[in-house]
Amino acid sequence: RSAAEVPDTVSMVTPSRWSALAYERFGLPRERIHVVPHGIDPAVVRPDAAARNAAREALGLRDAFVYLSVGAMTWNKGPDVLLAAFARIAETEPEARLFLKGADALYPSREMVRSVLDDLSARARETVAARLIYNGDTYSARMMADLLRAADSYVSPYRAEGFNLPVLEAAACGVPVICTGGGPTDEFTQESFARRIRSRPAWMSPEAAEVGDYLEPDLDHLVELMRQALRERDGATRMGAAGAAYVAQNLTWGRVTDRLVEALFS
């Protein structure tokens, strides 16, 4: 279909300027595209020290430094980049752990993680396997908030996203984030609580032919940022508080809904 086939009375609502560009390339006039970000429920997705400690205890991670990544584990999420980076981190940081939260009810997440592990060298695979925790169960919103709070660093080396809600939710829970720079997360993160991975524009991929242009995160820079997060822990409390405050002030569902109503009835 072309934009000419879309009735003049139809407008599009999309969660980021990044995704709005796709509609513009499709030919839809900019004035018919409304960017309204996703939001969070501040009653659920928020910092909670007691819940964090309980979650870490339940997971057996009380004394570990926990990197967390949530998603389908598909190519666009960058699990291959993350596991390659973590293999290098784990060689020198004995307390480092990586928790991958997949979505097995919707995607073959576990199989995709296994495939990525199989592509690592034998040494890297062994190093990662000893420190990797995978869970593909379906979580409620409260369970997910508990998991996010249990992390020390949320990591998302994505190649393509329309928004990337888990990054926002992690920040809302007071967890410093590491995410690809240049994409939609730039629109709702700030340097006060987010470390941005250098990236370069790329086009298509034999592994994901449905993708057009995307961002390729820099592996070496990701390793540097992950190591920085682990070794510079004094700033984690400050960064976490900055992220939680920013999201609570700007991106609750209440505030986002006001923007949606304005877009729909403008």
Backbone dihedral angles phi then psi of residue 27, each to the nearest 5 degrees: 110, 5
**How confident is the model at residue 241, as a pLDDT?**
98
8 A C-beta contact, residue 76 and residue 214? yes
Q: pLDDT tens digit string along 130-169?
A: 999 999 999 999 999 999 999 999 999 999 999 999 999 9
Alpha carbon of 146 to those of 34, 143, 149, 213: distances in Å?
33, 5, 5, 34
**How confident is the model at residue 7, as a pLDDT?**
78
**How confident is the model at residue 266, as a pLDDT?**
74
**How confident is the model at residue 1, as a pLDDT?**
55
Burial class (CB within 10 angstroms; exposed 0-12, middle 13-18, buried 19+) of 9: exposed
Question: Class of the 49-250 domain?
Answer: alpha beta
Residues of the chain scoring pLDDT < 50: none
**How confident is the model at residue 252, as a pLDDT?**
98
Start and end residues for every CATH 3.40.50.2000 domain found in the chain: 49-250
